[in-house]
A and B are shown apart, each in its own frame.
Chain A
């Protein structure tokens, strides 16, 4: 097996809510290899969001180690974490989190604007390529309020991949979308994964987990299940759905 892209050992995370100390993670070990498509499931309050925040370098663990692309990141400063997020991570959120009153293209450009040595021209070209990859090249001028939920999420996916991250972290990316649109989005993710991009996806919907190559289930701050999965093809399902619609 190749050196893991993400390597987590003995990860714990405690929160203090007033006087109560709350243990969100109680010792998590996880390796994700390059090119994997991992779905992280579990009920709400299981700690999967906390795990996602730590994996996304938005938060630091209380104890334990975290190596991302060979670099130890568990004790970095806020600025250094920002640099890691900018260089190595792509985010897709449940609520899309696009900037309002800003065009699709400019939304996709955003991560590149915070990177030194990328010219305006280059940022524009790369953002356009990313929009092409999600099939929205013709909507580059549109603002988020002119796009459907599925289209907004595609823009967000384009934004997450524009900086060539080592891993894309998706937090309930289909949570705000209907079944049909969810399938579309999963097709996009599977397409990206087929191109070798590592994806870690958090969801509590079993329907969505089917499309990942590996299932990790978290409960009460611990991993209770970690097993490979034969992924279903989102493209086939979309086609099937379309065929049924034609009947």
Chain B
């Protein structure tokens, strides 16, 4: 029998039981829509996570105080500076795999400008910090290394801080602000980075020279953490090994004892995030897969009913010269049409649901062509897999008994 004829026959037979066909398809529709929406959400989550990791900078290595595997007491990160300027200088000189390194002194402070008042984080860093984080300055410029060393009272404002103190879209370069009542001159405004994947506003900060923040605001010579970048992605492990070696020597950590600080590389963070989003996608997909399975069982169920109902028709066709394969194909095509049409509706629904989620919930949702292909392939496979058994049952009927069936 020709393919066109088979298809026509399948469509007609399904059109005879419209309600039943639709209800049967519903399982596949929901399954496919779920696969597409779930994959889109997973994909979207991964993309936004990757973007926020990329916003950390390039080839970043972070060094925090506190033992990597502290058994009992753990030092509070902000309690006191653990890294001296000498440590930083030593690392800078002796770790060739590093491109940049900066100490970080961080505090939370009340910031005033004119009548406006805003509480924000103040980061004391070397000018290289912006290079490590690949952060552009939209107006003005970064303070110089000389200004940093001399403890100049200059600062860069994050977009949020600039907007809050001076009004949205303003250019406060040259203006004066007070951080904990100490006057600072604004020398630049940072390009907006937006929210991090954890919902933090990355633009709500003030960046000032390390020396100024450490001495004048925190009354210390030490840094709370270090922020460095390796020369390349491949050099990250080497660079972190070098940092660790130099810092252990600087801080005179005895052989065999664990370091009183820990290193986090961007690679590790990326891996952790990827593992998380993979788990998420897997979880969502397995839910979607189960609904497809249920849909497939629905198809099998209704096809079995259909074969029984049409036993006599099958008998007639066999008597008139249909071979077992002709009958098999007829019923398989019907199952396939059910799953295909269901798949198509499901794709439309899934794409629609993803778009709805994206617009109403503001979720990063990404429908990829591959997920559509996957969902469609799955529904087709479901049709073949679950249509096979009923179709084979039909094909194996004995013509005499089928003709006698009432």
Chain A: residues with CB nearer than 8 A to chain B? 53, 56, 58-59, 78-79, 82-83, 85-87, 91, 93, 97-101, 110-111, 113-115, 120, 159, 163
Contacts of B321 in A (CB 8 A): 82-83, 85-87, 111, 114-115, 163
B316 engages A99 (CB within 8 Å): yes
Q: Is B241 engaged at the interface, CB distance under 8 Å to the other chain?
A: no
Q: How far is it, in angstroms, between the C-alpha of A97 and the C-alpha of B323 when the chains are bound?
A: 18
Residues of chain A within 8 A (CB-CB) of B5 are: 113, 120
Whether A159 contacts B323 in the complex (CB less than 8 A), given A53-B400, A113-B1, comes out as: no
Q: Check A97–B316 contact: CB distance below 8 A.
A: yes
- The answer to whether residues A110 and B319 also contact, given A93-B403, A120-B5 and a CB cut-off of 8 A, is no
Check B393 for interface membership: any CB of A closer than 8 A: no
Contacts of A79 in B (CB 8 A): 323-325
Please indicate which of the listed interface residues B315, B316, B322 has the most CB atoms of chain A within 10 Å of its own CB: B316
Q: Report the bound CA distance from A86 to B315 in whole Å.
A: 14
Taking CB atoms, residues of chain A closer than 8 Å to B324 are 78-79, 82
Q: Chain B residues in contact with chain A, CB under 8 A?
A: 1-2, 5, 16, 312-313, 315-326, 399-400, 403
Bound CA span A90–B243, Å:
92
Q: Can you list 11 A-B pairs with a CB-CB distance of less than 8 A?
A: A53-B400, A59-B400, A79-B323, A82-B323, A86-B321, A91-B319, A97-B315, A111-B320, A113-B1, A114-B326, A115-B321
Q: Which residues of A contact B317 (CB under 8 A)?
A: 110, 114
Given A83-B323, A87-B321; 18 other pairs, CB 8 A cutoff? A53-B400, A56-B319, A58-B400, A79-B323, A82-B318, A82-B323, A85-B321, A86-B320, A91-B320, A97-B319, A99-B316, A110-B316, A114-B1, A114-B321, A114-B322, A114-B326, A120-B5, A159-B320
Contact A58 B319 (CB under 8 A): yes
List residues of chain B with CB within 8 A of the CB of A85: 319-321
Verify A110–B320 contact, CB threshold 8 A: yes
Q: In the bound complex, how far is the Cα of B319 from the Cα of A163, in angstroms? A: 13
Residue of A97, A100, A163 most packed against chain B (CB within 10 A)? A97
Given A99-B313, A101-B16, A120-B5, A114 and B320 touching (CB < 8 A)? yes
Which residues of the other chain, A, contact B318 by a CB distance below 8 angstroms? Answer: 82
A97 & B312 in contact (Cβ 8 Å cutoff): yes
A105 and B360 alpha carbons, distance in the complex (Å) = 55
Residues of B within 8 A of A78 (CB): 323-324
Give the residues in chain A near B315, CB-CB below 8 Å.
97
Closest A residue by C-beta to B313: A99
| Chain B residues within 8 Å of A97, by CB | 312, 315-316, 319, 403
Q: Which residue of B lies closest to A171 (CB)?
A: B403
A53: nearest chain-B partner, CB-CB: B400
Least CB distance, A71 to chain B, in whole angstroms: 15
Q: What's the least CB distance linking A25 to chain B, in Å?
A: 14
A147 to B162, CA, bound (A): 87
B323 neighbours in A (Cβ, 8 Å): 78-79, 82-83, 114
A86 to B399, CA, bound (A): 13
Question: For residue A99, which residues in chain B have a CB less than 8 angstroms away from its CB?
Answer: 313, 316
Query: In the assembly, what is the distance between CA of A85 and CA of B400, in Å?
Result: 13
Neighbouring B residues of A115 by C-beta, 8 Å: 321
Least CB distance from A55 to B in Å reads 13
Cα–Cα distance between A99 and B318 once the two chains are bound (Å): 13
Compute how far the CA of A85 lies from the CA of B326 in the bound complex, rounded to whole angstroms: 14
Task: Find chain A residues with CB under 8 A from B1 CB.
Answer: 113-114
A147 to B400, CA, bound (A): 26
Closest beta carbon of chain A to B377's beta carbon, Å: 31
Q: How far is the CA of A125 from the CA of B140 in the complex (A)?
A: 87
* Chain B proximity of A159: nearest CB distance (Å): 7
Contacts of A101 in B (CB 8 A): 16
A82 & B312 in contact (Cβ 8 Å cutoff): no
Chain B residues near A98 (CB-CB < 8 A)? 316
A220 to B347, CA, bound (A): 64
Q: Give chain B nearest CB distance to A73 CB in angstroms.
A: 14
Q: Which residues of A contact B322 (CB under 8 A)?
A: 82, 86, 114
CB of A52, distance to nearest CB on chain B (Å): 10
* Closest beta carbon of chain A to B190's beta carbon, Å: 73
Alpha-carbon separation in the docked complex, A97 to B310 (Å): 12
Q: Which chain A residues lie closer than 8 Å to B326 at the CB level?
A: 114
